[in-house]
Structure 1
Amino acid sequence: MSAPQYWLMKSEPAECSIDDALAAPGHTVPWTGVRNYQARNFMRDAMRVGDGVLFYHSSCAEPGIVGFARVASVAKPDPTQFDPASPYFDAASKPAVPRWLLVDVQALRKTRVLGLKEMREMPALAGMRILQRGNRLSITPVTAGEWEAIEGLLER
């Protein structure tokens, strides 16, 4: 069995906040709406049940890491791609050959907000993908060192 991997997953709090995830049955939510091929491929090819997740709020007054979670399922078709009423509908995606996937994410605990400014001040996070200019991916890998630095800071 391979060592756990770590991920940062962005969610707009108006769609699914850490509080929403913690209030869901089993503290688990489907991570719907990913419409980027690289992020989809991370879910399909690299994520494993039990991998650590940094729950990140984006497109809000104070973007940043707001909690810890874990990957709770293998990748599976995202049903929103087939729903014409969904903002994530994709008419080109077919049930027999779905284009978009999701994983279930189980929220473990809420933290204070660890914002980008504070993250940029931490030398251990200098290479973190979320901090790189032009990075807009909703899912990015996190190294074990980055995870440990963030966990150490937020556990204090």
Structure 2
Amino acid sequence: MQYWLVKSEPFKYSWEKFNQDGRTFWDGVRNYQARNNLREMKEGDLVLFYHSNEGKAVVGIAKVVKEAYQDPTTDDKNWVVVDLSPVESLKVPVTLDTIKADEQLANVGLVRQGRLSVMGMKQEEFDRIVELGSGE
């Protein structure tokens, strides 16, 4: 099992819309490192859903339900998508400020590579953010 984080601006594709849809392909990735991360995703991997720009918070957990395939929004064979489904909403959104203030998350990609839209995470980082989002 691998762990990931994907970012979406809420006005483009929000957690709420994702839950209404029940499943989506993760398109629009045009950064090679982010694309390579999509290619590494395996069915069953868990993914944190982060609202970027507005809100700046992890708001939910998704899972990979279909591995990388050609991005249907472009004919360019360089770009791929994966299918994701929502698993659960976090009780409390975990803000970027909260993540930056947490010593256990000092090296998380969200802090180190703030502009990357799809990134891998260590299990401990994933678990810590889920714990912070539990509201306990």
- TM-score bracket, normalised by the shorter chain, equals over 0.9
Q: Match of 2:74, SS?
A: helix
d(CA) in 2 for partners of 1:47, 1:120: 26
Equivalence for 2:70 = 77
Answer yes or no: is 1:131 the counterpart of 2:111.
Answer: yes
Q: Match of 1:103, SS?
A: strand
Amino acid at match of 2:53: S
Quote the offset at 1:68 in angstroms. Answer: 0.6
Which of 80, 97, 101 is the matching residue for 1:117?
97
d(CA) in 2 for partners of 1:122, 1:29: 31
Quote the offset at 1:154 in angstroms. Answer: 1.4
CA contact (8 A) 2:94 2:132 kept: no
TM-score normalised to structure 2 length: 0.93
RMSD: 1.2
Equivalence for 1:87 = none
Q: Match of 1:68, SS?
A: strand
Quote the offset at 1:110 in angstroms. Answer: 1.7
> Identity percentage over the alignment?
37
Spell out, residue by residue over 1:112-148, the C-alpha distance to the aligned partner (whole angstroms, 9 max, x if none).
Answer: 321111111111101101112x531101111011011
Spell out, residue by residue over 1:53-91, the C-alpha distance to the aligned partner (whole angstroms, 9 max, x if none).
Answer: 00001121x211011111111101111114xxxxxxxxx
Equivalence for 2:43 = 49
Equivalence for 1:141 = 120
Unmatched runs of 5 consecutive residues or more in structure 1 = 83-92
Answer yes or no: is 1:105 the counterpart of 2:84.
Answer: yes
The number of residue pairs the alignment matches comes to 134
Quote the offset at 1:31 in angstroms. Answer: 0.4
Which of the two has greater strand per residue? 2
Which of the pair has more CA radius of gyration? 1
